[in-house]
A and B are shown apart, each in its own frame.
Chain A
């Protein structure tokens, strides 16, 4: 579904992503793990043309490397950005409507808002409130809901559990599974490597801009190097 070939991202003198190859199969959950600054976010942002890149990205067989972000979103990729980035001065309803900005089917949008509310009942209760008044966990739900409003085929999530209380982290993963069951393919970046690997069909380990290890989630969970570097040593 998503094929990344020889992707490079440079910021001034910094070579953040160094020629990586990746692929995401339709219907799977793929995770990208690695330390801070390894180039995970840059990879996702490059897929969406939010940063300058070289290399090719193709989606559903089409080369999308040179397309502007909005065209890529229209083709069915959406992202939950790191740090949630909800529009704090807009209401929850407006945030969701912005998620559906590219859509013209008003009826479908209405239905999907109800669908998002059924996934996250808290959001419905607070529909008319400004997003800035929500708690961190609720904002994360809103960011996920907003990303779903474009009816993506591929949902990319950048650290969805970052900064959340442990009890909410479990909730986030439950939601990821649920969205996956609805038929959405998922590309997940997580600092919580253990939980990410548990639900992932396939995983990539990124170190200083290059992929150093790949395998199924289960394989990497048992891998000694991964265990030491990302799972805190305990097995």
Chain B
């Protein structure tokens, strides 16, 4: 393999990895505070892509406006799901809320099939994203560079918000000790709602870019990226924000490089993530950056 070819694969991997990272954040932030794996998170990606699709196709919005509209709407849907399906179960045994999450996921998928239709649609992709950029012997599509730039900017922004703002501090407090956070006068319900909103907004950006990268749209597209990003969050250490990013990049790069170096295994592309998951659970169940904490007594 030439260096140029490797570089090309590497950029592809970073691009996919940054998408995984964006989506994985939502899993990890929600888990950090509510201790819930939000299985509906993957389907949120699908909704975001459809919102853009309808914004452009049905309401004739300019592309960027449709994207903005989709991000806001998706965040609201994420917050709505929390209010309707998770909040009433907050004091219930943890298994109930998990079942509720699986239920919401099935609901969204079937809602998509009934309302959006099961037939795949073509996702509209503006010309800006499809330009071929040549760097010496390496040629890449502009999207491959735009995705990581947007994703990394958003990830850095998130890290800044979490580490340097009052609300971010309240989020960190809630993720460590909800009771004591209440004692500080923190409105825990608001923080949880905000966490769902923020996670869903990032997933929406991820979902839209996913649509641009793989422009075939149908109501079940969220399932596989949802699962992989969940794995990314676990690999990095669930509950840990930098961990989710790291996990996303490991999975994205790993997947692309596996196919590049061992083309014979390309059919096992999706299996790669699950192999990593099994290995991590066997050898480091708390994830790469996860803390070794015992359950609170």
Contacts and interface: CB of A to CB of B under 8 A. Distances in A.
A81 B185 contact: no
Interface string B177-217: 10111111111000000000000000000000000000000
B166 A101 contact: yes
Interface stretch (A90-98, A118-126, A187-195, A226-234): A90-98
A73 interface: yes
B172 interface: yes
B185 A94 contact: no
A interface bracket (residues with beta carbon within 8 Å of B): 20 to 34
B141 interface: no
Interface string A120-151: 00000000000000000000000000100010
A143 B269 CA distance: 51
Contact of B169 (A69, A70, A90, A150): A90
B170 A88 contact: no
Contacts of B90: none
B256 to A, nearest CB: 34
B265 to A, nearest CB: 40
A101 B170 contact: yes
B185 A102 contact: yes
A98 B168 CA distance: 11
Contact of B187 (A70, A85, A90): A70
Interface in A88-118: 88-90, 94, 97-99, 101-102
Contacts, number: 57
B183 A90 contact: no
A50 interface: yes
Nearest to A51: B179
Contact of A94 (B169, B177, B180, B183): B169
B176 interface: yes
A99 B181 CA distance: 9
Interface string B94-127: 0000000000000000000000000000000000
Given A50-B183, A74-B185, A90 B177 contact: no
B176 A73 contact: no
B173 interface: yes
B31 to A, nearest CB: 16
Nearest to A86: B180
Contacts of B185: 69-70, 73-74, 101-102, 150
A79 interface: yes
Contact of B183 (A74, A81, A89, A97): A81
B187 A87 contact: no
Interface in A43-74: 48, 50, 68-70, 73-74
A101 B183 CA distance: 10
Nearest to A72: B185
Nearest to B179: A50
Contacts of A70: 182, 185-187
B173 A69 contact: no
A101 B186 contact: yes
B177 A87 contact: yes
Contacts of A85: 177, 179-180
A79 B172 contact: no
A42 interface: no
Contacts of B170: 98, 101
Contacts of B181: 98
Interface string A196-222: 000000000000000000000000000
Contacts of A28: none
A78 interface: yes
A87 B183 contact: no
Contacts of A89: 172, 176
Given A90-B173, A98-B170, A73 B180 contact: no
A73 B184 contact: yes
Contacts of B166: 97, 101
Nearest to A102: B185
Contact of A50 (B173, B176, B182, B187): B182
Interface of B: 166, 169-170, 172-173, 176-177, 179-187
Given A89-B172, A90-B173, A146-B184, 7 more contacts: A50-B182, A69-B185, A70-B182, A78-B183, A101-B170, A101-B184, A101-B186
14 contacts: A48-B182, A50-B179, A69-B183, A70-B185, A74-B185, A79-B183, A81-B183, A87-B172, A90-B173, A97-B169, A98-B169, A98-B173, A98-B184, A101-B186
Smallest CB-CB A-B distances: 10 pairs: A102-B185, A73-B185, A70-B185, A69-B182, A85-B180, A101-B184, A98-B184, A101-B185, A87-B176, A87-B173
